[in-house]
């Protein structure tokens, strides 16, 4: 699995073109691809914004409401911590797990027909489970709506591969996942530096991750 982050779509196209020109590709058969945009999970933050705008007596979803909402959202995106997440680098941790996912939108169970407040409540509870694994796993969420068959991609990075099992298992009991989540195939393995590619190809030993 090759993972590449770029600041623009053209950057992804350049990386793919460069990779396709490698002699290595003569030995590879493409199996899957996934294109998405790094994003912040903002249900908790936007719930607070909704409260502020209601307190300011703004009519929900009016022009004034939308303008104030966008202004506060831009302030959050400019926050240094959020900026680091939006313009992240591939986390340098030994093990990686990736899976795509959707929210159900069937006739009887439809995430998108729920009121915002109900969706926000469930996502806040969902986030609490993830925070119990703080420091043990680095999670990168990307939105793929309009770019891929799945709606989101979840990249997990950790120094202990068993963390993936524990985290995903715990979240399976969460209402947002148990009732409304649909999961695609999971891919997991060791992450290694490109300089270790000859080691990987030779099969002489397990390639390592260069922390420098």
Q: pLDDT digit string (tens) for 164-199?
A: 999 999 999 999 999 999 999 999 999 999 899 899
Contact (CB, 8 A) for 12 and 20: no
Q: Report residue 12's pLDDT band, with 50, 70 and 90 as the boundaries.
A: very high
180 is catalytic: no
Q: How many CB atoms lie within 10 A of CB 20?
A: 11
Q: Which of 5, 61, 99, 187 is catalytic?
A: 99
Q: pLDDT digit string (tens) for 13-68?
A: 999 999 999 998 998 998 999 999 988 766 766 777 888 888 999 988 899 988 99
Domains and CATH numbers, the chain: 42-88 (no CATH), 90-192 (3.30.70.1030)
Q: pLDDT digit string (tens) for 101-150?
A: 999 998 889 999 999 889 988 998 898 898 899 999 999 999 999 999 99
Q: What is the pTM of this model?
A: 0.84
């Amino acid at each position: 699995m090759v993972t590449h982050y770029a600041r623009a779509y053209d950057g992804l196209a350049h990386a793919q073109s460069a990779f396709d020109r490698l002699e290595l590709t003569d030995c590879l058969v493409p199996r899957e691809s996934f294109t998405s945009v790094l994003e912040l999970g903002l249900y908790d933050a936007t719930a607070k914004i909704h409260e502020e705008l209601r307190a300011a007596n703004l009519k929900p979803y009016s022009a004034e409401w939308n303008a104030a909402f966008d202004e506060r959202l831009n302030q959050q995106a400019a926050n240094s911590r959020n900026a680091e997440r939006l313009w992240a680098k591939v986390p340098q941790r030994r093990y990686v797990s990736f899976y795509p996912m959707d929210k159900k939108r069937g006739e009887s169970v439809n995430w998108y027909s729920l009121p915002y407040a109900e969706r926000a409540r469930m996502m806040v509870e969902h986030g609490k489970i993830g925070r119990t694994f703080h420091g043990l796993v680095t999670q990168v969420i990307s939105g793929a709506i309009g770019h891929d068959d799945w709606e989101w991609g979840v990249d997990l990075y950790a120094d202990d591969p068993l963390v993936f099992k524990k985290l995903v298992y715990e979240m399976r009991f969460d209402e947002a996942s148990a009732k409304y989540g649909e999961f695609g195939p999971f891919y997991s393995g060791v992450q290694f530096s490109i300089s270790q590619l000859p080691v990987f190809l030779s099969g002489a030993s397990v390639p390592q991750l260069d922390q420098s």
